[in-house]
């Protein structure tokens, strides 16, 4: 699991592509918390957070180079840390 991910790290998150293979987008982590409200992965357009039954570790992220004003939460187990 990605227990070492925290503020300032970069992660890759799978995005749904309906025509060909899914793509991995780069996100910057701006926070980490526990929540039951997050975006399911692979991310579909438009991104939408939804309610889930169990609280889990999530990271709050902004998508680099796409919309850096929108913050979404993703389960920690669904993201892959970008190597430096």
Q: Are 27 and 61 in contact (CB under 8 A)?
A: yes
Q: Could you tell me the pTM of the whole model?
A: 0.89
Token pair for 44: 């579909």
pLDDT tens digits in sequence order for the chain, 84 residues long: 567 899 999 999 999 998 999 999 999 999 999 999 999 999 998 889 999 999 999 999 999 887 788 999 999 999 999 986
> Is residue 40 in a domain?
yes
Tell whether 3 is covered by a domain: no
Does some domain include residue 36?
yes
Number of Cβ within a 10 Å radius of residue 10: 17
Number of domains in the chain: 1
Query: Within 13 Å and on the Cβ side, how many CA atoms surround 13?
Result: 29
């Amino acid at each position: 699991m990605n227990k070492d991910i925290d503020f300032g790290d970069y992660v890759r998150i799978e995005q749904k592509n309906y025509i060909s293979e899914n793509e991995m987008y780069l996100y910057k982590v701006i926070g980490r918390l526990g929540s039951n409200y997050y975006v399911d992965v692979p991310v579909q357009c438009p991104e939408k957070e939804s309610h889930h039954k169990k609280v889990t570790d999530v990271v709050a992220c902004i998508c680099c180079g796409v919309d850096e004003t929108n913050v979404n939460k993703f389960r920690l187990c669904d993201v892959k840390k970008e190597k430096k």
